[in-house]
A and B are shown apart, each in its own frame.
Chain A
Amino acid sequence: MLSERDTIVACSTPPGRGAISLVRMSGDKALSIIQKITKNKLKKQISVVKFPLNAGLIEKCVLTIFRAPNSYTGEDIVEISTHGNPYIVEEVIKKCLDLGAKIANPGEFTLRAFLNNKLSLDQSEAVKEVINANSKASLKAAQNSLEGGLRVKISEVQDKLRETRVLVETLIDFSDEDVNVYIEEVISKISEFKQFFASFKEDMKAYGSISNDVKVVVIGPPNSGKSTLINAIIGKKISIVSEKQGTTRDVVTSSCLIDGIRFVFNDTAGIRKTKDKIEKEGINLSKKALKNADIVIYLADKENDFDKLPITKNKKNIFVLNKIDLTKKDAPVGGFAISAKTKKNLKLLKKALAHNFLKLNQEELLSINIRHLDLIKKAYKNIALISPALVSSNLELVAENLRNCDELLGEIYDPISSDDMLGKIFNKFCIGK
């Protein structure tokens, strides 16, 4: 919900595009939050500070302070310039959220600027456009990110949560009715839910923010030039490393930055029928890597070789025909014809990788993912507070924790009103005198 009292934070440069990203925070608490994180006294308008990230990492970044009312929004603003690495940006934002900031709503900086008389009244229509455009983009990004796994998982959690709430609310509001619900049932239901939510929370961490590296898998027949291609893109030679005792052919990974985005390449074992046990293991690993990939490059040196590959239709696919230095070939539809060896057309392919990824509207996606994780974390905190003793002594406090949890999850997907909750109760229990 919109509230001016909140301190808001967001990344205001598209991450990945430049060498520098800018995180902006506006509101009453902006200065105190940044002070707490950096231990800087903020005496200068511009200062270089050490920003501690997770796992003992420290990012050196530039802080620019604009004090109210002399700022874009008219409130205290801190701008944090970091290296243009999405991982760093995400960690910076997370730190701010942990200390009480909220992810900005679509167009909220501009809205605040307007409401605080920082923009002229004539600009009201333009402001509305900014709000609308951003809200559409954000909605779309939210829908994208909610597609597939997350939505299913969230609704699974919500279903279980609401089943529990039905019992608790029934025990409270209809304790004088003829319903057979017992405290013991609630206690076991809640401990069951607690476990479920804990594992869901862990899953979500892994589901991961997109600022984790972009995973690229290169797949193709043996000797189509996969390793050569990866070496060519990352610009150095990586060697095939075996596991300690050299039992398996592992998937070999290496990474590089393209347009500031970190791409991780998986070289896979050539896919073909084999009786070699070790190689079979390698192929299985390849298939797994394929499943987790953000982008898949299908590489072949003969056009009809594409038909032999296990291609699953997906917008993240890129088709590449290699070895044009040997014979002249036409690029496959929507794909590229290159030479990994002579690096011909390689630049085009690299651009395509970055472009393909940015199409996902990274900026919105980034903040939406952080927001989701933040909400899930806060929702879990409410559940963690519930003990069997509390169920027995103060069921209304249990109900309160469950409701808060539901409200936070509802900000991600499918909120429920108190009236709908009553509907669920009336469906399950015969109530009414």
Chain B
Amino acid sequence: MSVDIIVIGGGHAGCEAAYAASRFKKKVLLVTHDVSTIGQMSCNPAIGGLGKSHLVREIDAMGGLMGVCADKAGIHFKVLNASKGPAVRATRSQSDRILYSNAVKSLIDSEDLLTSVSDEVVDIEVKNGKATGVKLKNGEIISAKKIILTAGTFLNGKLFTGEDEEEGGRKKSKSSKILANCLRSLDLGDARLKTGTPPRILTSSIDFSALEVQPGDSPRPCMSFIGSSDMHPKQMNCFITRTNKKTHDFIRSGLDRSPMFSGRIDGVGPRYCPSIEDKIHRFADKESHQIFIEPEGLTSDEVYPNGISTSMPKDIQEKMVKSILGFEKAKISQFGYAVEYDFFDPRNLSQTLETKSIENLYFAGQINGTTGYEEAAAQGLVAGINAALSLDDKDPWIESRGNSYIGVLVDDLITLGTKEPYRMFTSRAEHRLLLREDNADQRMTPYAHALGIISNDRWDIFQKKMSSIDAETQELEKIKIDPSAFGGKNKSKQHVLTVLKRPEAKLEDIYNLIKRPLPDKGVLLDIETTKKYAGYIERQNKEIKKIKKYENAKIPREIIFSEITGLSNEVKQKLEKVLPKTIAHAQRIPGITPAAISLLLVHIKKEQSVFKEKIGS
């Protein structure tokens, strides 16, 4: 059997990769342990949040799955940082687990060229440094031009609860041990990471009357640019409770039996606190920790108590849960556990997420050391689109840090690598003010349209929004108002857009003042933000323009960094590890000085002329 692209893994990275590639009219095969688990949310049933929702909006702007599915399955929506400026506002949604996975499956199934099968890949076929196919458990070999590996936490996955230890990628799912060992033999530089999950509690056993209610926002925001609140199913509340001294005492009494503290887990956890035992250990003074109770779905009898991820022994988990307000009679349906798994140093990947050492093999998702559905999905999209573009012999899709969080994500991974599960935060983006949730479509949809991978509906909605922004702006330019209504001291009338620059002025209020019907929220937000951020946007754009020159300054493949005279050995090693493709990329490697860049520029110029001469003669 032979296909264009094989995607290994049916998680969030795998699904985006397979779906995006199939939009290019490629024959795609998605291989996963069990097709019924496609699009499953293995951790908490939430999508979005700070930094993460920005990724979702970008995936959506490119025609990906996550935003639309989050709208179809969302049972609780909230805008975080609503009181702050638009660049750092973020939408967070709770999903009904089943509805979410169904939404993903139905979109995957809707693509004729995309087939998914339940099977296990045990090896990747490599010939002359090129991946050529995969070997299934029964020995069958399927050949493909491109292979995208999105194995998540399944590579050599090990689950820990107290002293118990078992193999697996998540509960009730086996791990990929054979594949992991085969990959290790390819010498791609692997290491271990860990993550964890809290005990799940039966809804019917919780006394909600004692708990703080957190309802969703009204009006409800949407995740997708083409989403609407009509798509949302029935909404549910979240709840908040807290740990107390008793809880902490129980945890402390069992620390010696915790796999995290007894040294049985080698994997590196994040610097933020992944587990409740970490929190209590590292912040001993803090008397109580918040628990955010997330419903698992409309038909589910489970909740996800976010904030008490743990791998403590079962008896301790039982005691600590019952010590918490509202959980006094709680029944645990599944105990918390820690997962330790293999990941590969993402510095071995190029900007398209293709491995540098094996052509046609792409890595995406948690296997690259990230954590979170959104981060995984974004990488899946990058790998899927680039694999397809490469088959068509087209220029790769490479996002810059100045254009998207996807650009920040990929660049951070391939340039800096990671020592802990990498999670997106808005503070990672130096051009944060430009990369807003509400303008992801403006940043990316035209490109996706040019690639031909988005629906006509999406394109129409986008164009309508843009022309509305133009029309409204033009109209507003004509109108003058009295600025004193918005704290202005000037008595003569001023242009609306000038008044809008005042911190006190809100565009919505101005519309009400001039008695003009309100346009769509997205339109309103865009006009307002562009005005209010004007000076900052200009400065960031200048920075980007400067960098762009060096983004375009390619480092030829032929350059051998170790041959550059004048560079210190340390700098040479750093360059050789990352193998930057542009000068801008080289500049971002920590420890690369301006002098080193100068030397590199001189060397490239010299080498290029030598190279040209060779071709010429």
Chain A residues engaging chain B, CB cutoff 8 angstroms? 1-5, 105-108, 111, 114-115, 121, 124-125, 127-129, 131-132, 135, 169, 172-178, 389-390, 393-397, 399-400, 403, 417-419, 421-423, 426-427, 430-433
| B84 close to A430 (CB less than 8 A) | no
A426 to chain B, nearest CB (A): 4
The complex places the Cα of A15 from the Cα of B127 at a distance, in Å, of: 64
Given contacts A173-B50, A426-B271, contact A389 B503 (CB under 8 A): yes
* Contact residues in B for A421 (Cβ distance below 8 Å): 427
State the 5 A-B residue pairs at the shortest beta-carbon distance, nearest first. Answer: A178-B290, A135-B595, A432-B273, A432-B272, A430-B283
The complex places the Cα of A418 from the Cα of B426 at a distance, in Å, of: 10
List the A residue with the shortest CB-CB distance to B86: A396
| B598 close to A2 (CB less than 8 A) | yes
Given contacts A125-B565, A172-B88, A395-B88, contact A115 B597 (CB under 8 A): no
| A124 close to B603 (CB less than 8 A) | yes
Question: Could you name 26 residue pairs across A and B whose Cβ atoms are closer than 8 Å?
Answer: A3-B550, A5-B546, A108-B598, A128-B566, A128-B602, A129-B566, A131-B599, A169-B427, A173-B50, A173-B427, A175-B81, A176-B50, A178-B289, A178-B307, A394-B85, A394-B503, A395-B85, A396-B433, A399-B432, A403-B430, A419-B428, A422-B427, A427-B271, A432-B273, A432-B274, A433-B44
List the A residue with the shortest CB-CB distance to B196: A432
List the B residue with the shortest CB-CB distance to A177: B290
| B590 close to A432 (CB less than 8 A) | no
List the B residue with the shortest CB-CB distance to A114: B602
* Contact residues in A for B593 (Cβ distance below 8 Å): 135
The complex places the Cα of A127 from the Cα of B606 at a distance, in Å, of: 11
Given contacts A396-B84, A400-B433, contact A1 B594 (CB under 8 A): yes
Given contacts A124-B606, A422-B425, contact A433 B309 (CB under 8 A): yes
The answer to whether B87 has its CB under 8 Å from any CB of chain A is yes
Given contacts A111-B598, A178-B289, A390-B503, contact A397 B546 (CB under 8 A): no
* Contact residues in A for B606 (Cβ distance below 8 Å): 121, 124
Find A397's partner among B85, B426, B602 (CB 8 Å cutoff). B85
Digit string of B428-442 for contact with A (CB within 8 Å is 1, else 0)?
101011000000000
Interface residues of B in 238-283 (CB under 8 A from A): 270-274, 278-279, 282-283
The complex places the Cα of A107 from the Cα of B594 at a distance, in Å, of: 10
List the A residue with the shortest CB-CB distance to B308: A433
Given contacts A115-B601, A132-B595, A135-B593, contact A3 B549 (CB under 8 A): yes
| B50 close to A394 (CB less than 8 A) | no
The answer to whether B609 has its CB under 8 Å from any CB of chain A is yes
Given contacts A396-B85, A396-B432, A403-B430, contact A431 B273 (CB under 8 A): yes
| A417 close to B590 (CB less than 8 A) | yes
| A431 close to B503 (CB less than 8 A) | no
The answer to whether B92 has its CB under 8 Å from any CB of chain A is yes
Find B595's partner among A5, A106, A172, A390 (CB 8 Å cutoff). A106
| B84 close to A172 (CB less than 8 A) | yes
The answer to whether B400 has its CB under 8 Å from any CB of chain A is no
* Contact residues in B for A423 (Cβ distance below 8 Å): 271
The answer to whether B51 has its CB under 8 Å from any CB of chain A is yes
B55 to chain A, nearest CB (A): 14
| B88 close to A396 (CB less than 8 A) | yes
The complex places the Cα of A172 from the Cα of B602 at a distance, in Å, of: 42
The answer to whether B25 has its CB under 8 Å from any CB of chain A is no
Find A394's partner among B84, B283, B595, B609 (CB 8 Å cutoff). B84
The complex places the Cα of A256 from the Cα of B548 at a distance, in Å, of: 51
Given contacts A2-B587, A107-B595, contact A400 B50 (CB under 8 A): no
The complex places the Cα of A105 from the Cα of B601 at a distance, in Å, of: 14
List the B residue with the shortest CB-CB distance to A428: B283
Interface residues of B in 439-488 (CB under 8 A from A): none
Interface residues of B in 538-577 (CB under 8 A from A): 545-546, 549-550, 565-566
Digit string of B79-114 for contact with A (CB within 8 Å is 1, else 0)?
011001101100010000000000000000000000
* Contact residues in B for A400 (Cβ distance below 8 Å): 432-433, 536
B259 to chain A, nearest CB (A): 18
List the A residue with the shortest CB-CB distance to B487: A389
Find B605's partner among A115, A393, A418, A431 (CB 8 Å cutoff). A115
The answer to whether B532 has its CB under 8 Å from any CB of chain A is yes
The answer to whether B137 has its CB under 8 Å from any CB of chain A is no
* Contact residues in A for B235 (Cβ distance below 8 Å): none
| A132 close to B432 (CB less than 8 A) | no
| B536 close to A397 (CB less than 8 A) | yes
* Contact residues in A for B426 (Cβ distance below 8 Å): 172-173
| B307 close to A433 (CB less than 8 A) | yes
* Contact residues in A for B565 (Cβ distance below 8 Å): 125, 128
* Contact residues in A for B270 (Cβ distance below 8 Å): 432
The answer to whether B306 has its CB under 8 Å from any CB of chain A is yes
Task: Give 6 new A-B contacts, CB below 8 A, not counting A178-B290, A432-B279.
Answer: A2-B598, A114-B605, A132-B566, A396-B433, A422-B427, A426-B272
* Contact residues in B for A430 (Cβ distance below 8 Å): 273, 279, 282-283, 286, 289
* Contact residues in B for A393 (Cβ distance below 8 Å): 85, 503
Find B427's partner among A132, A172, A394 (CB 8 Å cutoff). A172
B601 to chain A, nearest CB (A): 6
The answer to whether B24 has its CB under 8 Å from any CB of chain A is no
The complex places the Cα of A421 from the Cα of B274 at a distance, in Å, of: 19
The answer to whether B292 has its CB under 8 Å from any CB of chain A is yes
B560 to chain A, nearest CB (A): 15
* Contact residues in A for B80 (Cβ distance below 8 Å): 175-176
| B427 close to A124 (CB less than 8 A) | no
A383 to chain B, nearest CB (A): 15
The complex places the Cα of A173 from the Cα of B81 at a distance, in Å, of: 9
The complex places the Cα of A429 from the Cα of B428 at a distance, in Å, of: 18
| B599 close to A418 (CB less than 8 A) | no
A405 to chain B, nearest CB (A): 13
| B598 close to A105 (CB less than 8 A) | yes
* Contact residues in B for A394 (Cβ distance below 8 Å): 84-85, 503, 532
The complex places the Cα of A121 from the Cα of B613 at a distance, in Å, of: 13
The complex places the Cα of A290 from the Cα of B507 at a distance, in Å, of: 63
The complex places the Cα of A432 from the Cα of B289 at a distance, in Å, of: 10
* Contact residues in A for B141 (Cβ distance below 8 Å): none
* Contact residues in B for A417 (Cβ distance below 8 Å): 590
* Contact residues in B for A433 (Cβ distance below 8 Å): 44, 292, 306-307, 309
| B289 close to A111 (CB less than 8 A) | no
List the A residue with the shortest CB-CB distance to B307: A433
The answer to whether B416 has its CB under 8 Å from any CB of chain A is yes
The complex places the Cα of A1 from the Cα of B428 at a distance, in Å, of: 19
B615 to chain A, nearest CB (A): 16
The answer to whether B133 has its CB under 8 Å from any CB of chain A is no
The complex places the Cα of A418 from the Cα of B503 at a distance, in Å, of: 28
The answer to whether B49 has its CB under 8 Å from any CB of chain A is yes
B426 to chain A, nearest CB (A): 6
A385 to chain B, nearest CB (A): 9
| A5 close to B549 (CB less than 8 A) | yes
The complex places the Cα of A128 from the Cα of B426 at a distance, in Å, of: 39
The complex places the Cα of A400 from the Cα of B587 at a distance, in Å, of: 22
The complex places the Cα of A430 from the Cα of B284 at a distance, in Å, of: 10
A174 to chain B, nearest CB (A): 7
List the B residue with the shortest CB-CB distance to A134: B595
The complex places the Cα of A114 from the Cα of B600 at a distance, in Å, of: 12
